[in-house]
Amino acid sequence: MSSPDTEPKSLYQKREPIFPRRVSGAFRNLKWWLMAFTLGVYYITPWIRWDRGPSLPDQAVLIDMANRRFFFFMIEIWPHEFYFVAGLLIMAGLGLFLFTSAAGRVWCGYACPQTVWTDLFILVERWVEGDRNARLRLHRSKWNGEKIRKTAVKWSAWLLIAVATGGAWVFYFTDAPTLAVNLVSGQAHPVAYITILVLTATTFFFGGFFREQICIYACPWPRIQAAMIDEDTLTINYRHWRGEPRGKLQKGEVVADQGDCIDCMACVNVCPMGIDIRDGQQMACITCGLCIDACNDVMDRIGKPRDLIGYMALTDEVAEIAGKEPKSVWKHVFRARTIMYTTLWSAVGIGLVVALFMRSDIDVNVTPVRNPTFVTLSDGAIRNTYDVRLLNKLGQDEVFHLSLTADAPMRISLEGTQELSVTVKANEQKTQRVYIVAEPGSAAATADRTDLRLWIEQNGSTNRVYHDTIFNGKGK
Ligand code: SF4
Ligand code: SF4
């Protein structure tokens, strides 16, 4: 016979739904503003137009997969310039390290899409079903007309937001107004419908049902962030040395030897992660600051100093417990680690800006044909063959002239034309076969190799680029 203690326990813990209470205060306001900003940027950006001339798309931000290009306002990134994307990703990573080492999980608490959309879904839920207590009552009640009606309204609103979210994403990949018409008329590519369907489903379930579970169980960031946090990082903490021993307090009542915490549970009831910050720092805490707002409100009402819960570093905790003055916020923010991240971030940023302004509108690549490395013509001249790839980023069809400079005299000709020029269509590339010949007995013909420089000049302009290569002679 097995006793209750020896019976195997399930490893699965059933989720207890969380019904965060409405709260107001500085951090809640900051979150509202950031929510409006991030959602606004996400939904509106694909609709911003940017004139690039007749042969290029006029969408300000466009990931043009078909032509393998990325447009960002006046910047155009070609596939061979992928280092710009890599640089931006490195900057994003360093930025995340910087903010995390300075103020903990601020990304999670304020700007992460999971947090922002969950916040939006909770806002809708509150509009439809009421605040925490009303939602709790509705959740525990049996299914009846009111519960069915409210649930239907809430899910419909969530679905609308989810469709808008999935829809906005596909607009980043093709001309938004055209795609909108095609989507409505059923003529869009199946990939667009499938993408919208997948993103609608993930938004609906992640924001409506999975919520804090994504942060706790699915996201790797809470596990990684510990490496970026040290004793000087500002995180959200409960001043237990001030709050304990906690105890209920009636209005106007004064209890000797009691801490400032009146155990009102306001900090727990507003927490979107359903945790009690008074138990100490926890991995589930996304540092959203809502418990600070809730507790400050309570402290104001009972006439106690604010910041029983607040941003503080481990060193502050030690100092405050010892009765010493904690460091100023600026000393926590500007320290060796954050300065190093800022320096690295700025260096990558400056490097990208310099590379952006230094890049040419003409891109050229020269590949010598190596099989054979040279041929001897009937008159004894030596000929080398090259494939010259020209990329025209000028936004209109252009004629480019080819010429060469070298230590020894040589002549150049192009396959298929008597001219020394080639036309490349706007925003396209063309590969032109080029021959370079050294006269019989000349220095280049009799040398093993001669350095040469191929010049490509835009017709009617001083815009020109070069590419260095070598000429193979037959040697002595
Ligand atoms: S809100 Fe403040 S006073 Fe109320 S339980 Fe939380 S820490 Fe204690
Ligand atoms: S404990 Fe406070 S800061 Fe952490 S998630 Fe909950 S409300 Fe946000």
pLDDT in tens, 259-285: 999 999 999 999 999 999 999 988 899
pLDDT of the residue at 397: 87
CA of 318 to the centre of ligand 2 (A): 22
Report which ligand 2 atom has the smallest distance to the Cα of 288: 8
Question: Is residue 11 classed exposed, middle or buried when 0-12, 13-18 and 19+ CB atoms within 10 A define those classes?
Answer: exposed
Residue 473 has a CB neighbour count (10 Å cut-off) of 21
pLDDT of the residue at 460: 83
Report which ligand 1 atom has the smallest distance to the Cα of 291: 1
The reply to whether ligand 1 has any atom less than 6 angstroms from the CB of 262 is yes
Cα-to-chain-centroid distance, residue 4: 50
Rounded distance between C-alpha atoms, residue 29 and residue 293, angstroms: 10
Q: Are 377 and 425 in contact (CB under 8 A)?
A: no
Q: Which CATH architecture has domain 362-472?
A: Sandwich (2.60)
Residue 345 has pLDDT above 90, yes or no: yes
* Neighbouring-strand partners of residue 390: 364, 430
pLDDT confidence bin for 474, thresholds 50/70/90: confident
Report which ligand 2 atom has the smallest distance to the Cα of 284: 5
Rounded distance between C-alpha atoms, residue 389 and residue 376, angstroms: 25
Query: Which tokens sit at 244?
Result: 């304990």
**Residue owning tokens 């489903």:** 201
pLDDT in tens, 438-450: 999 899 999 999 9
Express as a percent the part of the chain with pLDDT over 90: 72
Q: Where are the domains of the chain?
A: 26-226, 231-324, 362-472
Mean pLDDT of 348-355: 95
pLDDT of the residue at 355: 92
Query: Which tokens sit at 23?
Result: 């709260």
Query: Which tokens sit at 115?
Result: 């947090």
CA of 22 to the centre of ligand 1 (A): 15
Rounded distance between C-alpha atoms, residue 102 and residue 238, angstroms: 19
Phi-psi region of 374 (alpha: psi -120 to 50; beta: other; left: phi over 0): beta
pLDDT in tens, 17-71: 899 999 999 999 999 999 999 999 999 999 999 998 777 899 999 999 888 889 9
Report which ligand 2 atom has the smallest distance to the Cα of 236: 3
Ligand 2 binding site (Cβ under 6 Å of any ligand atom): 236, 270-271, 273, 275, 277, 285-291
Rounded distance between C-alpha atoms, residue 22 and residue 425, angstroms: 59
Rounded distance between C-alpha atoms, residue 65 and residue 251, angstroms: 65
Residue 288 has pLDDT above 70, yes or no: yes
pLDDT of the residue at 252: 66
| Closest C-alpha to ligand 2, atom 6 | 271
**Residue owning tokens 């040290």:** 230
* Mean pLDDT computed over every residue of the chain: 91
| Closest C-alpha to ligand 1, atom 3 | 261
Least confident of 304-308, 311-315, 405-409: 405-409
| Closest C-alpha to ligand 1, atom 7 | 261
Q: Are 142 and 228 in contact (CB under 8 A)?
A: no
C-alpha dist (Å) from residue 439 to 86, 96, 202, 433? 47, 61, 69, 20
C-alpha dist (Å) from residue 308 to 248, 304, 312, 444? 16, 9, 11, 83
Q: pTM for the whole thing?
A: 0.83
pLDDT confidence bin for 162, thresholds 50/70/90: very high
- Which residues touch 10 (CB under 8 Å, ≥6 apart)? none
Mean pLDDT of 224-234: 87
Report which ligand 1 atom has the smallest distance to the Cα of 265: 5
Residue 4 has pLDDT above 60, yes or no: no
pLDDT of the residue at 190: 95
Rounded distance between C-alpha atoms, residue 436 and residue 385, angstroms: 7
Radius of gyration of the chain (CA): 33
Least confident of 9-13, 83-87, 352-356: 9-13
Exposure string of 41-75, with b = 16+ CB inside 10 Å and e = fewer, is: ebeebbeeeeebeeebbebbbbebeeeebbbeeee
pLDDT confidence bin for 337, thresholds 50/70/90: very high
pLDDT of the residue at 3: 53
Q: Among candidates 112, 132, 111, 113, which has minimal Cα distance to 122?
A: 132
Question: Is residue 463 classed exposed, middle or buried when 0-12, 13-18 and 19+ CB atoms within 10 A define those classes?
Answer: middle
Least confident of 73-77, 240-244, 428-432, 460-464: 460-464
- Max distance between CA atoms of the chain, in angstroms, equals 113
pLDDT of the residue at 1: 45
* Neighbouring-strand partners of residue 451: 470
Pocket test for ligand 2, best of 273, 282, 295, 297 (most atoms within 8 A of CB): 273
pLDDT confidence bin for 132, thresholds 50/70/90: very high
CA of 132 to the centre of ligand 1 (A): 17
